[in-house]
Structures are given as structure tokens and as C-alpha cells.
């Protein structure tokens, strides 16, 4: 399979059958590996922030960044659906040969992203108050978190625009420019965080300012890319943007993915809240271990994006064989990667914990609960890649419904196991949440396939 640019006419009508496309192990990995290399820089930024601030020897600062990041994830990264939905819709337009519509999808997403970011900035104080109250952290943790959040929130419009731009690039198969944007964002953030916190001694504020600066630079670079793509096509693309049918479809898909994302981050927020109830040291230890979960997710992110892009192309081209092959290969490699990551974690347990915290108490607790964090990679691998499949196929309502099922199981286990097992019960509930998400999505896929591909493509 080659990633060729589609024609710039309107191509075949929706639902028409395109020539079948062969997908192999090598082709899936060709998409996934470079995305994975860029994606792992995202949790590395969180690890760097935790490690840099952690070297100051203040547990409250680690907890403050963790609490603020939960709120930021809920406000900012909940809107990651802008990247996912844009990738899906651009991929389907790619598969159907609708070149103009690919750019129109990008502009619709950029407008929606910027508007959502402005709303987040306008509502920053009630968001911060509600968020820190919900998490129930101590005053010292809250004070540090408020400083970090109060700076980071101002980059919301540009960060969300970056999501839309990366989604457009991934959807059309332009992976290297998309990866370059992500890599610049995360690497600049990490470098500036080290400089601002350790060299200039700006503390938590320095880590937040570094991220704002990196997000601004990345948005400017992405704006140049979209301007170049519009050259000579602006009139045709702009006339396609106000298509009410497509706008309604985008809003419907994004609403379902948004609800799914909100449930996901509320689940992580609940994990943080329950961790805080065990004390600052346990909270800090769980924060350190959750960075391993984020890192394993990033390792599998490339396969999820590959599944998303290929599934979208298969749906756009009405190619069931391509769809089934893409899913099977993506699942195989995601599960294999999950077990490989867990094996690496086991080998580097001591140095990675020492890197992320200088507190002896936090280190001891992180070692005590390390075996639970070890399991997040293999148990979460199926959920990560099936998310990509469902979003690429725009089965948004079902991804929302399966998330509701998984979160219900999670809540039941939290209230059942924590009184009995304490922090161990919290980790068991979280692992069950990951496993239920993956298996319910895989189970639901078969019925949806028969609906999306009513006739064999070959």
C-alpha cells in the first residue's frame, strides 16, 4: 500500500466501491513506528516535568503538577477528539478520493478547535475551582497546582488547533509533517522545562511557561502547512466548508467522542482523587507509576493511529477485506508491544523510579505498587488499538457506549475493593477498566462490520 494523494475532484459518490487495497505487517509498521517514536515524547514531557520538579525534593509540588494535569487533561486533552475525528473523516475522504473535502474537514476542525479553546480560557476560574475541589487535594498541593493551571490554560486555543492540524495530516497519510509538529511541541517543551525550572529556578511556573511557548511555536508551524495546502484551492475548499450535512455529522461524531473522552478522564481524575485520600506520599507514588501507563499508551499510539487511518480508508473505499486485515494486524502488534513494554519496565524498575522522584518514601511506595503499573501495558493494548479502529470507522456512538460499560465496572470495583484492599484495590479496579474497554469494543466490532460492509468487497 502506498500513501498517494487523492484526486482533487469530488471522486466517486459515497458508498461506491474503490479498488481493494492489500495491507501487510510491513505496511502497518511503516505507519506505526515513526508515529510511535514521536508519540513517546508526549509522556516523556510529563516524566521530565515530574522528574525536574521532583528533584526539588518537595512532594507537594509533584502532587500539584499531577492535580493540575488531571484538570488540564480534562479541559484540553478531552478535546483530543478533534485530532481523532479529523483523522477519521479525512481518511474516509482519502479512501473515496475526495481531495477538496479533505481540506474542508481540516478547516471545519480548526474553527471548532479555536472556539473551544476560547471558551476554556473564559471559564478558567470556575474550571480550576471545580477541578481542585473535586480532586480533594491538600492546600499545599492545591497552591502549586493553581500556579501551573493558571499559566497553561492560556494556550488552550492554540493547543486545540494543533490537534486539528495533526489530525488532518495523519488522515491524508502525511505522517512525517504530523510527527514533526508533535516532536517539536514535546521536545521544545522538555528542553524549556529543564531550563526554566532548574537553570532559572522558576519552579512550577517555569514548567507551565515552557509548555505554552512550545504550543505557540507549533501552532505557527502548522498554520504555514495548511496555508501552503490551500494555495490554488482556497475558493473551492472555502465553498465546501459550510456544508450543513457534513457539519451535522462532525458535531454528532465529536459529541460522542467527547463524552467518551470525558468519561475516560473523569476515571483518571477519580484515580487521582482516591490516591490523594491515602496521603501525599501515596499520591506522589501513584503519579510516578501512572507515567508508566501514559508511556505505554504512547508506545502503542502509533499502532492505534495506523488502525485509525487504515480503517478510515477501508470504510471510505468500501473495502471489507482491507478493514479486517488492518484490524487483525494492528491488534497483533499492539498486544505484542504491550508485553514487550512490560518486560522493559521490569528490567529498568529501579532507575526509572529513582529518576522521577528523590523522596525515599515515594520511592519505597512506588516499588511496592510497581507490579500493578507493569500490567497496564498488556491490559491496555487492546483498548488503545480498538479505539483507533472505531474512530477511523466513525463508530462514535458505540465507542461511547462501551466506555460507559467499562466505567460502570470501574466504579463498582472501586467502591467494592478499596475498603478491603486500599491502594491495591484502586489499581485492580483501574486495570479491570482497561481490560473491559478493549474486550467490549472487540466484541461489538463484528456486528458493526456487517452493517458498514453489507456486501463483500471482493
| Percentage with pLDDT > 90 across the chain | 22
Kindly report, residue by residue over 177-208, the tens digit of the pLDDT: 877 887 788 788 888 888 888 888 887 888 88
Confidence check: pLDDT of 435 > 90: yes
The set of cell numbers assigned to 437 is 474497554
- Give Cα 209 distance to the centre of its chain: 22
C-alpha span between 400 and 108 (Å, rounded): 22
In 3D space, the residue among 33, 314, 312 whose CA is nearest the CA of residue 176 turns out to be 33
Kindly report, residue by residue over 12-53, the tens digit of the pLDDT: 333 444 445 677 888 788 888 877 766 665 555 556 666 666
Are 82 and 254 in contact by the 8 Å Cβ rule? The answer is yes
- Give Cα 108 distance to the centre of its chain: 20
Kindly report, residue by residue over 70-81, the tens digit of the pLDDT: 777 767 766 777
The set of cell numbers assigned to 111 is 474553527
Residue spans per domain, the chain: 25-452
In 3D space, the residue among 224, 218, 24, 61 whose CA is nearest the CA of residue 146 turns out to be 61
DSSP of 9-41, one letter per residue?
S--SPTTPPPPP----HHHHHHHHHHHHHHHTH
pLDDT value for 410: 95
Amino acid at each position: 500500500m502506498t500513501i498517494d494523494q487523492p484526486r482533487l475532484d469530488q471522486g466517486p459518490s459515497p458508498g461506491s466501491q474503490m479498488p481493494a487495497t492489500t495491507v501487510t505487517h510491513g505496511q502497518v509498521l511503516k505507519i506505526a513506528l515513526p508515529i510511535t517514536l514521536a508519540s513517546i515524547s508526549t509522556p516523556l514531557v510529563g516524566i521530565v516535568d515530574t522528574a525536574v520538579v521532583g528533584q526539588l525534593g518537595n512532594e507537594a509540588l509533584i502532587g500539584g503538577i499531577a492535580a493540575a494535569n488531571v484538570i488540564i487533561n480534562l479541559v484540553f486533552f478531552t478535546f483530543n477528539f478533534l485530532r481523532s475525528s479529523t483523522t477519521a473523516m479525512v481518511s474516509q475522504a482519502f479512501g473515496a478520493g475526495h481531495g477538496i473535502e479533505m481540506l474542508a474537514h481540516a478547516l471545519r476542525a480548526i474553527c471548532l478547535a479555536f472556539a473551544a479553546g476560547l471558551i476554556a480560557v473564559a471559564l478558567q476560574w470556575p474550571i480550576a475551582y471545580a477541578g481542585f475541589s473535586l480532586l480533594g487535594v491538600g492546600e499545599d498541593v492545591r497552591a502549586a497546582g493553581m500556579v501551573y493551571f493558571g499559566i497553561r490554560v492560556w494556550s488552550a486555543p492554540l493547543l486545540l488547533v494543533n490537534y486539528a492540524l495533526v489530525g488532518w495530516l495523519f488522515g491524508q497519510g502525511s505522517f512525517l509533517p504530523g510527527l514533526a509538529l508533535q516532536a517539536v511541541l514535546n521536545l521544545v517543551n522538555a528542553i524549556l522545562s529543564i531550563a526554566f525550572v532548574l537553570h532559572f529556578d522558576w519552579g512550577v511556573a517555569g514548567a507551565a511557561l515552557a509548555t505554552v511557548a512550545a504550543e505557540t511555536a507549533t501552532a505557527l508551524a502548522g498554520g504555514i502547512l495548511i496555508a501552503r495546502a490551500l494555495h490554488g484551492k482556497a475558493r473551492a475548499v472555502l465553498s465546501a466548508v459550510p456544508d450543513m450535512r457534513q457539519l451535522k455529522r462532525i458535531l454528532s461524531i465529536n459529541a460522542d467522542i467527547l463524552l467518551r473522552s470525558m468519561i475516560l478522564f473523569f476515571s483518571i481524575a477519580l484515580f487521582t482523587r482516591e490516591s490523594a485520600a491515602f496521603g501525599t506520599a501515596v499520591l506522589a507514588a501513584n503519579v510516578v507509576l501512572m507515567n508508566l501507563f501514559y508511556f505505554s499508551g504512547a508506545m502503542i499510539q502509533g499502532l492505534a493511529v495506523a488502525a485509525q487511518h487504515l480503517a478510515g480508508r477501508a470504510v471510505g473505499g468500501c473495502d471489507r477485506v482491507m478493514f479486517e486485515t488492518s484490524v487483525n494486524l494492528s491488534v497483533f502488534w499492539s498486544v505484542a508491544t504491550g508485553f514487550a513494554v512490560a518486560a522493559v519496565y521490569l528490567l529498568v524498575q529501579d532507575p526509572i523510579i529513582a529518576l522521577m522522584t528523590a523522596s525515599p518514601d515515594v520511592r519505597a511506595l512506588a516499588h511496592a505498587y510497581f507490579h500493578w503499573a507493569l500490567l497496564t501495558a498488556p491490559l491496555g493494548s487492546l483498548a488503545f488499538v480498538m479505539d483507533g479502529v472505531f474512530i477511523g470507522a466513525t463508530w462514535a456512538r458505540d465507542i461511547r457506549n462501551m466506555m460507559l460499560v467499562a466505567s460502570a465496572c470501574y466504579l463498582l470495583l472501586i467502591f467494592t475493593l478499596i475498603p478491603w484492599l486500599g491502594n491495591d484495590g484502586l489499581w485492580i479496579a483501574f486495570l479491570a477498566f482497561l481490560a473491559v474497554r478493549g474486550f467490549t469494543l472487540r466484541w461489538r466490532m463484528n456486528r458493526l462490520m456487517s452493517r458498514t460492509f453489507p456486501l463483500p468487497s471482493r
